[in-house]
Amino acid sequence: MQISILRLGHRLPRDERITTHVCLVARAFGASEAIYTGQHDNSLESSVSNLAKQWGGEFGIRYEKNYESVINNYKKEGFVIVHLTMYGIPLPEKIDKIKTNKKILVIVGGEQVPKDVYELADFNIAITSQPHSEVAALAVFLDYVTNSEPLKRSFSDKFKGKIKIEPSERGKKAISNKDQ
Ligand code: SAM
In the chain, domain spans: 2-176
pLDDT at 99 over 70: yes
Position in ligand 1 atom list of the atom nearest CA 83: 16
Predicted confidence at residue 179, as pLDDT, reads 66
Distance CA 128, CA 55 (A): 32
- Sequence-distant (≥ 6) Cβ neighbours of residue 146 within 8 angstroms: 1, 29, 30
Nearest CA to ligand 1 atom 23: 86
Distance of CA 109 from the midpoint of ligand 1 (Å)? 6
Q: Helices marked H in the chain — which ranges? A: 16-28, 42-55, 67-76, 95-98, 115-120, 134-145
Give the pLDDT band of residue 126 (cuts 50, 70, 90).
Answer: very high
Report the share of the chain in percent with pLDDT over 90.
96
pLDDT of 104 > 80? The answer is yes
Q: Determine the length of the chain.
A: 180
Mean pLDDT of the chain: 96
CATH fold for the domain made of 2-176: Alpha/beta knot (3.40.1280)
Going from the C-alpha of 74 to that of each of 6, 81, 88, the distances in angstroms are 11, 8, 21
